[in-house]
Amino acid sequence: MAKVTTLSEFIINNQKDFPYETSDLSRLLSSIQIAAKIVNREVNRAGLTDNILGAVGSTNVQGEEQQKLDVYANDRFIEAMASQKVVCGIGSEENDHFLGAEHGLSKDGQYIVMMDPLDGSSNIDVNVSIGTIFSIYRRVTPIGSEVAMEDFLQPGNRQVAAGYVVYGSSTMLVFSTGNGVNGFTLEPSLGLFCLSHPNLKSPEGGKIYSINEGNFTQFSPALQNYIHLCKSDKNINGKAMSARYIGSLVADFHRNLLKGGIYIYPGTKSAPNGKLRLLYEANPLAFLIEQAGGSASNGNKRILDIHPTELHQRCPLFIGSKKLVDEAVKHIASSEKTEALG
């Protein structure tokens, strides 16, 4: 029987590949896996206790109703990372402002973490896969000082690591430190994340397109034309593609990473910048998909080259298999040019 490699062993064995100070980043990644196990335990108890499901009664900075598990997951990840004293600042989808030393984080820490602690949490009460997304940067302000907004408003190409956890039929942690993408599945009887998907590669193409077609009338004519292309035999596959949309970004992304496909959350008439957050969702997933050989764009520009101007900035997202993303961006640009010429 082949030896099983745990996530902790993998981190230690691959410290030489980490781009900066190895032990601090190792400790940070270890704290993330601990928090993921705690959140996974609560997710698996959903429906058994009254204090897990349902809304808190408040909204986050995006105006979205916070679920009890949103707040729970946010608190657990913050506590786990603060305990390691290597993180100086955290930006979370669930907090209006970034967190620093006043929340137990270390002024001497050299890492900034951006996170969506529980993506897709509105689906928890119907037993649909949800997840956690995280992104790690090195701070730009001097060590020992208070963190500042400039530490958080860095383009995605400065990420040193990123990953996600998907809580589904099995719980998986997928991450990259800039040397490929690896997936670890939680073995529940042991409580250990074990390497199950080494060196993940995104298929160049695929047969799946993922988009909320309920918003079709809100899409630009160019995007509507692209959706029609997906349904025809004139797309890059030579036959109609299949629509698959779960409604949890992590779950849709994870499926398409493994099987090939394109995920689209575009700007619409009512929300020109789309719904997804650049720093908490688009950047970390773009980092991962590029490490796996795929592509990510806002429709006009590479996601990782966007310079953020706001902590909770939103952006359209086209992400997945390289050939499909390239085809989508080119087709939409061509359609827009045709429309402009009348």
Task: List, as residue ranges, the binding site for Mg(2+).
Answer: 93, 116, 118-119, 281
Short-list 240, 229, 222, CA closest to 316: 222
**Which H or E run contains 331?**
helix 322-341
Contact 272, 127 (CB under 8 A): no
Please provide the size of the chain in residues: 342
Residue 231, judged by CB atoms within 10 A of its CB (0-12, 13-18, 19+), counts as: middle
Q: Which residues pair with 114 in a beta bridge?
A: 91, 135
Tokens of 190: 């042991």
Contact 319, 286 (CB under 8 A): yes
| Triad 231, 315, 60: Cα angle to 5° | 115
DSSP string for 60-91: -TTSPEEEHHHHHHHHHHHHHHHHTT-EEEEE
What residues form the annotated binding site for substrate? 119-122, 212, 245, 275
What residues form the annotated binding site? 93, 116, 118-122, 212, 245, 275, 281
Q: Which residues pair with 138 in a beta bridge?
A: 111
